Amino acid sequence: MRVLVPEILDHLAPDDPRALRSRRDLARINWVMCQAAIMANTLADFPAPKTIADIGGGDGRFLLSVARRLVKRWPGVKLVILDQQAIVSTETQSKFAALGWDCAAMQGDIFQTLPQIAPDIVTVNLFLHHLEDAALARLLALVARRAKGFAACEPRRSAFALLASHLVFALGANDVTRHDAVASVRAGFRDSELSHLWPQAGAWRLGEQAAFPFTHVFKAHAI
């Protein structure tokens, strides 16, 4: 059963020193979890998109790592990062531009920003677990109306992942990250939980599985 508690990072100002440190911790944790490689592999079966929307994409550095893995197959993509905070730097946008991708950012509530665009693919990394099931079902229904494909890499809710979350101090993680890592695993997913929340209407091919070492993957293709 999922257990949700507030995560500290969500309530810190973007320029708070603890938030800045925690985002650096998260980049390291993403690397340990092989998140960028898992996301790129998950997206490999999708037709090349013109536009991608990344929900809760933060500073954009995670999608930059994914873009570097996909750019040869997916040139000239327009990426829109949707987040509550405006923290995508001009440096990060320049790095996307060097790959031939255009990176824009939209700040605001996802239920207000996503309806303003019509992406081919929506991606999510370590965001869905923040939502209660009712809000999550509402978001997935919105994604299904706006996009042709969806890929999510979330925390896997397992004893092994929970044990690992208690050990992030070994990576030098600060107090924010140490708290939020455990909270994210307890709020994570397993089995077919996301498939059950995906809207029944429409023709979609769904896939949901664990990915080594600590990730839960969900994807949906419009048929």
Q: Which two tokens stand for residue 11?
A: 């309530």
Encoded amino acid at 137, one letter? A
pTM of the model: 0.93
Would 1 be classed as within a structural domain?
no
Query: How many separate domains does the chain show?
Result: 1
How far is C-alpha 54 from the chain's CA centre?
Answer: 7
Q: Give the C-alpha separation, 45 to 49, whole Å.
A: 11
The residue to which tokens 């079902």 are assigned: 137
Does 2 map to a domain? no
Task: Identify whether the C-beta of residue 140 lies closer than 8 Å to the C-beta of residue 154.
Answer: no
With residue 82 as reference, give the H or E element that holds it.
Answer: strand 78-83
Q: In which domain, by residue range, is 216 found?
A: 8-222
The CATH number linked to 128 is 3.40.50.150
As a whole number of angstroms, the distance between CA 128 and CA 147 comes to 17
* Spatial distance between the Cα atoms of 118 and 143, rounded to a whole number of angstroms: 9
Decide if 47 is inside a domain. yes
Blockwise average pLDDT, block size 10, the chain, 223 residues = 95 94 92 94 95 96 97 97 94 98 96 96 98 98 97 97 94 96 97 96 92 96 94
Q: Which DSSP category does 48 fall into?
A: P
Q: Which two tokens stand for residue 10?
A: 């969500």
pLDDT at 201: 75
Q: Does 155 sit behind a cis peptide bond, omega within 30 degrees of 0 on the bond before it?
A: no
pLDDT of residue 34: 93
Contact predicate 62/125, CB 8 Å: yes
3 in a structural domain: no
pLDDT at 200: 87
Strands of 78-83's sheet, edge to edge?
102-107, 78-83, 51-55, 121-125, 149-155, 215-222, 204-211
